[in-house]
Amino acid sequence: MIAKNKELAALKALQDVIIRGRTMAYEKADYGKIADLLDTAEYLAALMYDKDNMTNVFRENLVELAKKHQCNLALDEFDRLVSGN
């Protein structure tokens, strides 16, 4: 699960990851890279309904996506919404 006060931020971040995947497809990025991004997106979704608090793991995966697939918007939005700014 994601901490209750961070659920909206997590949903928005997941949406941003999916949008990045679509952009990569339009840009004709390597299929392996798109698949890797989608694998992580699927994992992020699963973290949202895990019985344990996986908020930190969720963010760690956003950090990795930002590094590997230029998903900085997802990470930035998550952090911005969590901090309330």
Domain boundaries of the chain, sorted by first residue: 4-83
Which two structure tokens, joined as six digits, stand for 60? 């760690």
Question: What's the pTM value of the predicted model, to 2 decimals?
Answer: 0.93
Q: One digit per residue, pLDDT tens: the chain, 85 residues?
A: 999 999 999 999 999 999 999 999 999 999 999 999 999 999 999 999 999 999 999 999 999 999 999 999 999 999 999 998 6
Q: Of 63, 73, 54, 61, nearest to 15 (Cα)?
A: 73
> Would you call 57 exposed, middle or buried from its count of C-beta atoms within 10 A (0-12, 13-18, 19+)?
middle
CA nearest neighbour of 41 among 5, 9, 16, 8: 16
